[in-house]
Amino acid sequence: MLTHIPDKMRNLPVDALFLCLALILAWIETLIPMPIAIPGLKIGLANIVVLAALYLLGPFDAILISLSRVVLSSILFASPSAMLFSSGGAIASLIVMILLMRSNRFGVIGVSVSGAVSHNIGQILVAVVITQTLALFSYLPIIIIGSLFAGILIALITFPVIASVKKSVTNSVVSVILIFVMTIPMLSLTSCATGSQNHGTSGSDNYVEKTEYLLDTVCTVRLYEPLDDDLAEDAMDICRALDEKLNMYNDKSEIFRLNHSEGRATVLSADSLEVIKLGLKYSEISSGLFDITIGSVSELWSFPSAANEAILGGADNMVNRIPDIYDVTQALKFVDYRNVVLNQSSVALGSPHARIDLGSLAQGFIADKMKEFLVIHGVRDAIIDLGGNIVTIGDKKGEGWVIGVDSLIAKSEKSGEIEPYRLRIDESKTIVTSGTFQRGFTYDGRFYHHILDPGTGYPVKTDIKSVTVIMDDSADADAITTICVLLGSERAKAFLSGHRIDAVLLLDDDTVHTIGTVDLY
């Protein structure tokens, strides 16, 4: 009956059934929260179908099903741009699995594990080429470990089907039913995995939003394109995970462990090493005016944010936050970034009393990592707001972004109300504001702010209230704004002009100064 149809075309009805199941599993995977949200790390449930098709139907059908699944799932569940990353992984996985299967030297588990590993490595390689972000390679170890477990899981689900169903078009229909039955329990795992998200509109714009109190401030991720709840949640997971890793006051963090290692070399993650390396770079550029080893001094102080001021008890408790001058003098002996020894995988502080404080970089670094994750996963229009650090992705569907700068306020000519100045941004940028106004307290008529002078151990004397810069990278912008406050207005203007950085300065006399091309109104 089917003799007039080419051999490779006879399986198309079954291929369609396999493809439908692959799409269902791809959808299920969007509901499963990963233990750590990093590019390329997925369980790969759809590979269950691809692996079964490879053994039951043949390489041609497996290739057809896999690539069709990539195209359709990218359109249905992610975005067309995500197709590039998925295609790289799918092609790498197919090549490896077909070669291993035909060699007859590897069982189903070996083929499955190799396919899962090559899939995620292929996806990362494509992401590196497209985004030019070499730092993504730092994720490879955990991706490989995750892929090993995923490959074993996929093989355990698929092997019984392959072993019990004869290789034919008719019986392969039975295999589709068996695979579906065996994966139904995974649905129960996802029934309580989805978290709450805010959905709304801004003017005519639809968006999904996730907001949490992290980094001692209100953090928000708002996605306009695509409207993907899971990506917003995953981006906030990155914020939470990095906050726990880089916070010097969290006794479970890597930085706390480094600071209490008695000066010995301490093995750190790629994230911690990256931000410390960046901090040492700016410590060198500023000749120590900006110094990440200020931690031995900053841990003596207590500077509340405005949100925490009432909790800490107001002016009656201020005196308890001013350290003794003797303690400050002793702590200053251990402030010198040149004593930090940075190796390929570890850091040594050189003294048991030395402390690294990444507070002037961590927020920007976290914002950059959140942006990196969202861009890799196909987000075209979004905004990340981590208090003083704002990151835009895209141009908000051609409308451009309007960013209010809370430190710059004036009476509106239209409404007559006191309103913040606004910046107009028409592309992917970061807008970072830092200044003496953000954290501090007043005691005995004197205001103590949180930006410490590494030379004195006390709040730096400066004529700058706030600095706002517009740059490409938020971590760099974090360091630049702090350096500018430490420099004072005249040297800060020269520094910013020399590095061609667009900026807005608010001085103590409430005058506003712009550097470069700034659309401020």
What Cα–Cα distance (Å) separates residue 304 from each residue in 243, 354, 432, 456? Answer: 18, 23, 20, 21
Sheet holding 217-225, edge to edge: 198-202, 205-214, 217-225, 381-386, 389-393, 430-435, 464-471, 502-507, 512-515
The C-alpha atoms of residue 429 and residue 403 are separated, in whole angstroms, by 11
Confidence (pLDDT) at 314: 46
Set out the domains of the chain in order of their start, with CATH numbers: 7-190 (1.10.1760.20), 198-226+377-515 (3.10.520.10)
Tokens 């070499």 belong to: 134
Tokens 């741009």 belong to: 81
Question: And the tokens for 391?
Answer: 């990151």
394 in Cβ contact with 428 (< 8 Å): yes
Could you count the other beta carbons within 10 Å of the beta carbon of residue 211? 15
The C-alpha atoms of residue 35 and residue 2 are separated, in whole angstroms, by 48
Q: What is the DSSP string of 393-422?
A: ETTTTTT-EEEEEEEEEEE-TTT-SEEEEE
Backbone phi and psi for residue 224, each to the nearest 5 degrees, phi listed first:
-105, -30
Could you count the other beta carbons within 10 Å of the beta carbon of residue 413? 6
Sheet holding 266-267, edge to edge: 266-267, 346-348, 341-342
Confidence (pLDDT) at 243: 92
308 in Cβ contact with 387 (< 8 Å): no
Outline where DSSP puts E strands in 133-275.
198-202, 205-214, 217-225, 266-267
Tokens 């850091």 belong to: 347
Amino acid of residue 419: E
DSSP class of 168: S
Could you count the other beta carbons within 10 Å of the beta carbon of residue 475? 27
Query: Which distant-in-sequence residues (6+ apart) come within 8 Å of 391 by Cβ?
Result: 367, 368, 370, 371, 383, 384, 428, 429, 430, 431, 474
Confidence (pLDDT) at 84: 61
Query: Which distant-in-sequence residues (6+ apart) come within 8 Å of 425 by Cβ?
Result: 392, 400, 401, 402, 403, 431, 470, 519
pTM: 0.64
The C-alpha atoms of residue 389 and residue 475 are separated, in whole angstroms, by 9
The C-alpha atoms of residue 467 and residue 454 are separated, in whole angstroms, by 19
**Quick one: 316 exposed, middle or buried, by C-beta within 10 A (0-12, 13-18, 19+)?**
exposed
What Cα–Cα distance (Å) separates residue 200 from each residue in 222, 234, 326, 328, 387? Answer: 10, 19, 54, 49, 21
Averages of pLDDT over runs of 10 residues in the chain (521 residues) are 44 70 69 48 66 77 78 59 65 84 79 80 74 62 75 71 52 48 41 38 68 87 91 93 91 93 93 96 95 94 59 44 88 95 92 94 95 93 92 91 76 54 88 87 84 94 94 96 96 95 92 88 78
Helical (H) or strand (E) element with 425: strand 418-425
Question: And the tokens for 520?
Answer: 């401020």
Determine how β-strand 389-393 pairs with β-strand 381-386: antiparallel
